[in-house]
Structure 1
């Protein structure tokens, strides 16, 4: 059975959640290590008084130390459990979950919904400051300190050359059997009144370390070590460049996940599962 089809007697439930990633080894279960998935699934099991641990599917499997404000997951629950607990589930989860995780909303998902494959895009923010004194102590777990002055205009010039569908192998940690072709829909940077520079990064999906590698390349442009054309040249080369640093995870936050209208979900699920080839290459068999 496809994981887009809910078994008889079950209800698919969407969860919208947020977490501070500092205390987690990422989203996905990892044995005895503390992860977001482990904590949420265990809290669900307890509040639902279920003998079976509910299993979550997530929109974006964040790495260790990465935060989320707009994460989305789904879980399939027995219909009778959903009917019994749905009205008070958010409040009960608030009482059971640790303080570094919150579930903001739970709702019955539309037909065919899949938190991962139905997503049209994911939007991340990376925050960095070049203030000579360092990071505001109250923001130290969410903002990277870069100890060179940064030229945001030069960084935006470089960022604009990376937009569109490309093979981002040069900015990804390769995984066996996984494609590195992605469509980068937005990459822009803005300095706030507090001096913090926020990079907004949106794509249909991201490969491993992609956002943090892109930011690492743009920082090299911003501090004058590389010209604005350099990140594009690295992309075109298609191989990892030792000068591209994967910046630390604590500056990164998953802000939002976008989904299509309910009637377009099935088509989006099919498109997400299609293995892409590089632009201009022959389609895969």
Structure 2
């Protein structure tokens, strides 16, 4: 049986999602809790999007495959939350429909990044989730500079290159707005490469404070190479908000499409 698990976590005290020997990670913590509750020697989960050290999630999705003789019932959610630490909460657990893969069946991932650009907005109670920025930002200029980046493109300029992986992504949405005074970026794409969101945000912050023209992000994108002038902003302002999936009938087909290597032409 394959289960779908929806969860949230505060990434502040985790060394990212992926299991690492001797380090506290979200994956390791969840797998240990599942193994304990299900009384299994080991459990392996697959997530929709690996988050870096310090990045939070409100809408992470994972799947786990259980052996045929494993015991599952509707009490699993309550039992998991009974053993998980307070900075991880399981929001839902249910048998996954046929063809569901938390990673490859996803149509998109949506992240937000929150910035406080005035002293009055720097709330110590939210310091672990909001970047404090020392200069005022022009949100309209940032929104205008973000629009030309939409579509299927090679985002090598904003990604930490990994051997054998592609940097071609479809950026579906990239907006900037003020919400309760904070400057909030919303970014949605079919997938993201390593450091992509934090680099995009760093690039647009340079526009927002007037250090770079509105055309600069598009120029950086077209160059197709990592540019040291693009800052990777701190992780704590970033949250994985939601993962979107197609209807049940299209889950397996979407997984096949996602496994295919992307090309820009």
TM-score by length of 1: 0.91
Alignment of 1:191 onto 2:169: no
User: Number of residue pairs matched?
Assistant: 265
The answer to which of 237-246 and 198-207 deviates more is 237-246
Number of the residue aligned with 2:14: 24
Identify which of 65, 70, 73 aligns with 2:59.
Answer: 70
1:156-171 to 2 correspondence within 5 Å?
A: 156-171=143-158
Compute the displacement of 1:86 (Å).
1.8
Counterparts of 1:78 and 1:240, CA distance in 2:
44
Q: How does 1:1-285 map to 2 (within 5 A)?
A: 11-50=1-40, 52-81=41-70, 84-133=71-120, 135-193=122-180, 195-277=181-263, 279-280=264-265
**C-alpha separation between the residues in 1 aligned to 2:73 and 2:152?**
41
RMSD of aligned Cα (Å): 0.9
Partners of 1:198 and 1:33 in 2: CA distance: 31
Unaligned runs of 5+ in 1: 1-10, 281-285
Larger deviation, residues 267-276 vs 175-184 = 267-276
CA deviations 1:122-148 (Å, max 9, x no partner) are 000000010135620111000001111
SS at match of 2:34: helix
Cα deviation, residue 53, structure 1 = 1.0
**Matched residue of 2:66: which SS?**
strand
Match of 1:7?
none
Q: Distance in 2 between matches of 1:61 and 1:266?
A: 21
The answer as to whether partners of 2:121 and 2:182 remain within 8 angstroms in 1 is: no
Q: Tell me by how many angstroms 1:79 deviates.
A: 3.5
Q: Structure 2, unaligned stretches of length 5 or more?
A: none
Q: State how far apart, in whole Å, the 2-side matches of 1:171 and 1:124 are.
A: 16
Deviation by residue 1:254-282 (Cα, 9 ceiling, x = unmatched)? 000000111111211111011112x23xx
Distance 1:114 1:192 in 2: 34
- Higher deviation after alignment, 259-268 or 115-124: 259-268
Secondary structure of the structure 2 residue equivalent to 1:183: strand
Query: TM-score normalized by structure 2?
Result: 0.98
Q: Deviations over 1:231-269 (max 9, x none)?
A: 000000011112100000000000000001111112111
